[in-house]
Amino acid sequence: MKESSATRLPRRLRYFEATARNRVAAVMDAGTFREFLPPEQSQPSPHLAVLDIPGSFDDGVIVGAATLGDRPVLVIAQEGLFMGGAVGEIHGAKIVGLLQRAVREKPAAVIFMADSGGVRLHEANAGLIAISEIMRAVLDARAAGVPVIALVGGSCGAFGGMGIVVRLCSAVVMSEEGRLALSGPEVIETVAGVEEFDSKDRALVWRITGGKHRYLTGDCDELVDDDAAAFRRSAIELLNDWKEPSSSVAGLRAEQERLTSRCQRFDGLRDGLDVWRALGVTDPQQIPLMDRDSLVALKKELPA
């Protein structure tokens, strides 16, 4: 039976395959986004031009201001469809500039929609240096009291230096489809062999790097469906009553203890299935099949 247009639900925007611009439009309050250094005022990367590689006027990242649940925020959205969202000189400088602006303007938050394989090899040195500048700028924004919220659910995930940047943020929201790690599975396979990491085994890659695994082990704070509206709701909820903690020896000692005891507890494990079993999940094979709500409920029931 055909639904009438009046009762039809708004179409779900799959975050995974959406463009950066569509993600921004769907996550922020409708019509509020204002871009800084828009494509018509910018230039494609000259470092790609010398290699005869077509550039993009936004260099694969969109930065600007918007409101989110009526709060003023600054926004970064990497475009995974251009060069895998990888960080080059202009791309990185736009992110750094946005974070410096946050220190001055003190918006309610910076929303960082990461979708990137890390350093853009064609601009490897510029990309690596830019990522270290982004790392310091994220921590500067946080030290100024501005939370930086990372959303990870794009087709490129967050790898390499961008994986580090995401873990420097105040909170991380992921979808099951999102991936978060340091070295990509292909890199590990190339260097250490297919027995070490079969990058074509999609299910394995998700058990090592995917949103559900990162959620169960506490490396992301919120798990959401692959839906821009779900990312939006989660970011708004996080910002309700958010108080950005100042960094302290005590806080980092606690994190040090968490990370150290986790490494001891899961020493020698090589698959998410083993970690989930060790966490107290009775039937880890079921995890990949569970929907988001059931998984969130399951995590609440796990022994501390």
Partner 1 sequence: MAVGGHIVTGCAHTAIGTVALLGTVDGAAIGHDIALRLAGRVLDIVAHFPGRPIVFLVDTKGQALSRAEELLCLNGSLAHLARCVDLARRQGHVSLALVTGEAVSGGFLCFGLMADKTYALADTQVRVMDLKAMARVTKIPLERLIDLAAASPTFAPGVENYLRMGAIEAIWDAPSAALLEAALADQQAADSRVDERMARGAARKGRRLAATTAVIVASS
Residue 291, classed as helix, strand or coil, is coil
- Residue 35: how many other CB atoms lie within 10 Å: 19
Q: How far is the CB of 217 from partner 1 (least distance, A)?
A: 7
What residues from 63 to 82 belong to the interface with partner 1 (CB under 8 A)?
A: 63
CA 57 to chain CA centroid, Å, is 23
Residue 254 or 297 having the CB closest to partner 1: 254
**DSSP structure class, residue 236:** H
Q: How far is the CB of 196 from partner 1 (least distance, A)?
A: 6
In the list 9, 30, 259, 304, the residue contacting partner 1 (rule: CB under 8 A) is 259
Angle 228-239/20-27 helices, nearest 10 degrees? 50
Fill in the amino acid letter for 4. Answer: S
Determine if 96 is a binding residue for partner 1 (CB under 8 A): yes
Query: CB of 149: closest distance to partner 1 in angstroms?
Result: 15
Interaction residues for partner 1, span 104-143 (CB under 8 A) = 104, 119, 121-133, 135-137, 139-140, 143
Write out the H or E segment, with its range, that includes residue 231.
Answer: helix 228-239
Q: How far is the CB of 10 from partner 1 (least distance, A)?
A: 32
Question: Which one of 95-103, 145-153, 279-287, 292-300 is the stretch in contact with partner 1 (CB under 8 A)?
Answer: 95-103
For residue 303, the minimal CB distance to partner 1 (Å) is 19
Spatial separation of the C-alpha atoms in residues 153 and 210, rounded to whole Å: 9
Q: How many CB atoms lie within 10 A of CB 4?
A: 7
Interaction pattern, residues 165-204, with partner 1; x per rule: CB under 8 A: xxxx-----------xxxx---xx--xx---xx-------
What residues contact residue 92 under an 8 Å CB cut-off, 6+ apart? 126, 127, 129, 130, 131, 133, 134
The CB-of-38 to partner 1 minimum distance in angstroms stands at 10
The contact mask relative to partner 1 for 29-68 (x = CB under 8 A, - = no) is -------xx--------xx--xx-----------x-----
Structure tokens at 302: 């796990």
Among 272, 281, 287, 292, binds partner 1 (CB under 8 A): 272
Residue from 56, 116, 209, 234 binding partner 1 (CB under 8 A): 209
First to last CA, the chain: 48
Contact assessment for residue 73 and residue 66, using Cβ atoms and an 8 Å cutoff: yes
